[in-house]
Amino acid sequence: MATITVRRPEFVWPSDLPVLPLPEDPSRSCELVALSFTLPYLEPYLIRTMRVATKEVADENLAAEMKAFSGQEAQHYKNHARVNDIVRSKLSPAGAAEMRSLEDALDADYRRFTDTKSLAFNLAYAEGFEAMTFALARSVMSVAEAEGVFPEWGDLISWHLAEEVEHRTVTFDAYEAIVGRYPHRVAVGAYAQAHFLRHLLKMARALQRDTFDAGVTMPTVLKQAVVRNWRNGIIPGTLRVHLPGYDPRKIVIPDDVVTIAAMQGVELV
């Protein structure tokens, strides 16, 4: 039996929803919105991988957790797709078209991975991504980081990250059960993180250009992201997942994360 719960929250998006979730920090806002735009392509790819991987797993408990993981990811990307449609409708025609083309490129990559890459690669990609989102959740789920975020955006992000923490062990366990090669997991995991972030930063640049800085360049967007995410702990947390002995079960969940998750109805254990 799975210990992971599939929830179906109903988000009501106001007509005055701002494109930038955190108006005082437009650069961070664009990074968050770009993350939202990647998810309707990344999360279906994870689900496709899990569908194939479940057939290789003998442990019934793990298979049940993998199914529940996919149920959670399906709810995540459907809700992000809804808000992404609203955001796209608020961009200029050129900005919306650029976002569409970046989304199509990411979708094409993930469909190609499903069609042409091995299950071992796809599972290692999934774990590379999940380990990064677990580090992200531990770094940004805090009262200080949530300050000033538009409430509906805040609820979506908090609910999503709470469930990312809840299902933090599933892709790790699936990889270990089916593949279990540390150097391979680290090599593909690092590739996965770089691949994903490259696409995310292109989306962040397009959003910045359309909302507040028409001339921003990729080196500037990259520098902003590195400085911000080094300071808030996401980059150090993500680098540590590549060390031998990394196991998401051994990571202590900060009190703030437990508190914010509970506010979204997610009791972390």
Contacting positions for Fe ion (CB under 5 A): 73, 76, 164
User: From the CB of 174, what's the least distance to Fe ion, in Å?
Assistant: 12
Assess contact for 211 and 96: CB atoms under 8 A: no
Nearest to 154 by CA among 1, 36, 3, 44: 36
Choose between 4 and 186: whose C-beta lies nearer to Fe ion.
4
User: From the CB of 212, what's the least distance to Fe ion, in Å?
Assistant: 28
Choose between 28 and 80: whose C-beta lies nearer to Fe ion.
80
Q: How many angstroms from the chain centroid is the CA of residue 145?
A: 17
Name the one residue in this structure whose structure tokens are 């991975």: 113
Q: Where are the beta strands (DSSP E) in the chain?
A: none
AA identity, residue 14: P
Assess contact for 208 and 30: CB atoms under 8 A: yes
Q: How far apart are CA 224 and CA 199, in angstroms?
A: 16
Choose between 73 and 103: whose C-beta lies nearer to Fe ion.
73
Choose between 76 and 185: whose C-beta lies nearer to Fe ion.
76
Choose between 114 and 220: whose C-beta lies nearer to Fe ion.
114
Based on C-alpha coordinates, what's the Rg of the chain? 18
Residues whose CB falls within 8 Å of the CB of residue 100, separated by 6 or more in sequence, listed in order: 88
Choose between 2 and 222: whose C-beta lies nearer to Fe ion.
2
Q: Which residue is nearest to Fe ion (CB)?
A: 76
In the structure encoding, which two tokens stand for residue 23, read together?
């108006």
Assess contact for 202 and 35: CB atoms under 8 A: no
User: From the CB of 78, what's the least distance to Fe ion, in Å?
Assistant: 11
AA identity, residue 122: N
Q: How many angstroms from the chain centroid is the CA of residue 235?
A: 14
User: From the CB of 161, what's the least distance to Fe ion, in Å?
Assistant: 9
User: From the CB of 73, what's the least distance to Fe ion, in Å?
Assistant: 5
Choose between 103 and 164: whose C-beta lies nearer to Fe ion.
164
User: From the CB of 171, what's the least distance to Fe ion, in Å?
Assistant: 8
Assess contact for 78 and 72: CB atoms under 8 A: no
Name the DSSP letter for residue 149: -
84 phi and psi, to 5 degrees?
A: -60, -40
User: From the CB of 131, what's the least distance to Fe ion, in Å?
Assistant: 10
In the structure encoding, which two tokens stand for residue 174, read together?
């699936």
